[in-house]
Amino acid sequence: MFSQRVASLGKSLLSTNSRFYSSTAAMGKKVAVLGAGGGIGQPLSLLLKLSPQVSELSCYDIVGTPGIAADLSHIPSASTVTGRVPSPGTWPPSHDTGLEAALTGASVVVIPAGVPRKPGMTRDDLFNTNAGIVKTLVEACGDFCPEAVLAIISNPVNSTVPIAAEVLKKKGVYDPKKVCGVTTLDVCRANTFVGGAMGKDPKDVNVTVIGGHAGITILPLFSQVEGFSPSDSDLEALTVRTQFGGDEVVKAKAGAGSATLSMAYAGYVFADNVLKAMEGADIVQCAYVESSLTDAPYFASPCKFGKDGVEEVMGYGEISAYEQGWLDKMLPELKKQIDKGIAFANN
């Protein structure tokens, strides 16, 4: 009897072929993950499937997403799942209808697509490959979900966010409130490292991290952490470890990948907070966005989120002389990476 019930349930839920998988429909916020088959995309999709803020999870990648969606659909949460891959070639030539279906109706689009770092590579080494991927995907976002908030994970974020903005400007649909680089992992690392140093639960620590999302452009403001007074050497070590935490993981994985699991968690936290803000929650979180706080046109700082994305780019408060030194050192490099992204999008 039980096996018959399972078989009957399976027939009612599954409608699949080699290119598409969909579970039953539901109303609410749709989140699309572009690059859902990768090292970040799969655990990120898993976490989003568990989120009560998500009612439809749309997984897209060049291969494998129908199977990933089928797998995720067996998790007993309220959200439904679809999995799509690029549509086959047609004549006359047509756009990617798989990507169109993945994006249509999405409120939030999370983009972890791209190649991972390997030992010896910087985020900037990824530029030539990932810049083109992000450009193509954001063009589709502009066509099929121009009102969605974009959460860009694909590195180098300092350059890919300006690329996304330029692409959307060309399509006449750019809204600075809706284009965000996800820097949440920098905050997670800073909270974890300081929590360990203070003997506190990292969940009780909230370090503001400003600047960008690569090396020295990452600036944790440890001076603002109440009750934390490290020695100069400890402060330097914690700052550099936060800045180059990704390198620590790349080296430890010895060529087998980069920071995928922690980045998936950070991407989930960011997207879930964006969705909560859309429903009226009071959300402030760091993000890399268009900004006038410095002479860099894009900058990570605390941002207040609301129903339409970023409601306010907030200041970062008083900083120490040590932190000011890092800020002065960082800005030329950050602006260089921003200019590289803008030039790519316009050439």
Catalytic residues: 213
Q: How far apart are CA 23 and CA 9, in angstroms?
A: 11
CB 159 within 8 A of CB 129: no
Q: Which residue has the tokens 């070639």?
A: 89
Question: CA nearest 32: which of 176, 162, 161, 145?
Answer: 145
CB 137 within 8 A of CB 169: no
β-strand 108-111 against 149-152: which pairing, if any? Answer: parallel
Contacts of 335 (CB under 8 A, 6+ apart): 295, 296, 297
How would you class 128 by CB atoms within 10 Å of its CB: exposed for 0-12, middle for 13-18, buried for 19 or more? Answer: exposed
